[in-house]
């Protein structure tokens, strides 16, 4: 009986050690967490998906800045304007829809062809942003939100990839470029709001084709595994689906 009691104690002690190890591993994993814009430290960055970005159309990881994190999700914005694309092919239909972003051509592209640039695991990390699909555009209110780091016109400026400029994206003399929001103009129903040269907001007809596309999306933090990087612009986080493999 004494020998059995001793064995039981050893088993209990072993289980306690194992639980401690698992707890420490979990605590260590949680020690690296996404956070939104901070006035003192700026943004965190991560890579997800690949897209043609070089002058020759070479595919490179898409760099994302973390605008905000909370309530189990992180709100991401593409660091660069990736390509040009009209918001919709029919400004009359856009007007009649009341500016319904989910009925636009650009919404269909973002949640169709654009999705092919992401692995199945990356898509599994994303969460629906209301009715706006897995990918959306920032709203004009987003671009006025100082908590997201948009503290003035300059902070709203978008900069293109060489591929985007080479393939038709308009570029201003200061090297920035305009990009769409998902917000309809209140003064011209056939138009949507977009950024202008200084980063200020204006409007343009939704059928204009050389405006920029700067996607946004939300990630589920409970499924996120940060596998590398330190989250800076030059060394962004490498991510994966929790429990996933690198070859899917």
- The residue assigned the tokens 């990881």 is 61
**DSSP state, residue 147:** G
Cα–Cα–Cα angle for 181, 186, 191, rounded to 5 degrees: 55
- How far is CA 220 from each of CA 30, 117, 121, 215, 229, rounded to the nearest angstrom? 14, 19, 12, 17, 19
Q: What pLDDT does residue 54 have?
A: 98
**pTM for the complete prediction?**
0.86
Above 80 in pLDDT, residue 238? Answer: yes
**DSSP state, residue 107:** H
Structure tokens at 3: 């020998």
**DSSP state, residue 119:** -
Pairing between strand 45-52 and 59-70?
antiparallel
Above 50 in pLDDT, residue 46? Answer: yes
Q: What pLDDT does residue 32 have?
A: 58
Structure tokens at 209: 């084709």
CA–CA gap between residue 143 and residue 126 (Å, rounded): 21
Domain boundaries, the chain: 1-31, 45-241
State mean pLDDT over 29-47: 85
CA–CA gap between residue 100 and residue 90 (Å, rounded): 12
Q: What pLDDT does residue 246 have?
A: 59
Q: Residue 40: exposed, middle, or buried by beta-carbon count in 10 A (0-12, 13-18, 19+)?
A: exposed
Structure tokens at 120: 């199945």
Contacts of 30 (CB under 8 A, 6+ apart): none
Cβ(148)–Cβ(142) below 8 Å:
yes
CA–CA gap between residue 64 and residue 45 (Å, rounded): 6
Above 50 in pLDDT, residue 87? Answer: yes
Q: What pLDDT does residue 18 have?
A: 38
Above 70 in pLDDT, residue 227? Answer: yes
């Amino acid at each position: 009986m004494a020998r059995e009691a001793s064995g039981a104690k050893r088993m209990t002690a072993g289980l306690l050690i194992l639980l401690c190890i698992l707890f420490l591993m979990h605590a260590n994993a949680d020690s690296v967490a996404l956070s939104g814009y901070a006035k003192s430290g700026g943004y965190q960055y991560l890579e997800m998906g690949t897209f043609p970005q070089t002058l020759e159309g070479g595919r490179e990881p898409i760099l994302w800045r973390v605008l905000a994190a909370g309530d189990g999700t992180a709100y991401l914005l593409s660091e660069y304007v990736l390509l040009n694309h009209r918001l919709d092919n029919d400004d009359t239909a856009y007007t009649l829809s009341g500016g319904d972003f989910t009925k636009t051509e650009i919404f269909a592209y973002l949640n169709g062809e654009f999705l092919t640039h992401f692995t199945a695991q990356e898509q599994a990390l994303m969460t629906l942003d209301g009715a706006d699909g897995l990918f959306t555009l920032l709203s004009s209110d987003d671009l006025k939100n100082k908590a997201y780091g948009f503290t003035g016109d300059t902070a709203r400026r978008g900069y293109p990839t060489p591929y985007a400029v080479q393939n038709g994206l308009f570029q201003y003399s200061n090297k920035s470029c305009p990009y769409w929001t998902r917000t309809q103009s209140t003064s011209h129903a056939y138009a949507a709001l977009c950024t202008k040269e200084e980063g200020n907001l204006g409007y343009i007809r939704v059928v204009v084709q050389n405006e920029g596309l700067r996607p946004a999306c939300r990630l589920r933090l409970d499924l996120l595994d940060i596998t590398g990087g330190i989250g800076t612009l030059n060394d962004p986080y490498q991510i994966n689906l929790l429990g996933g493999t690198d070859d899917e």
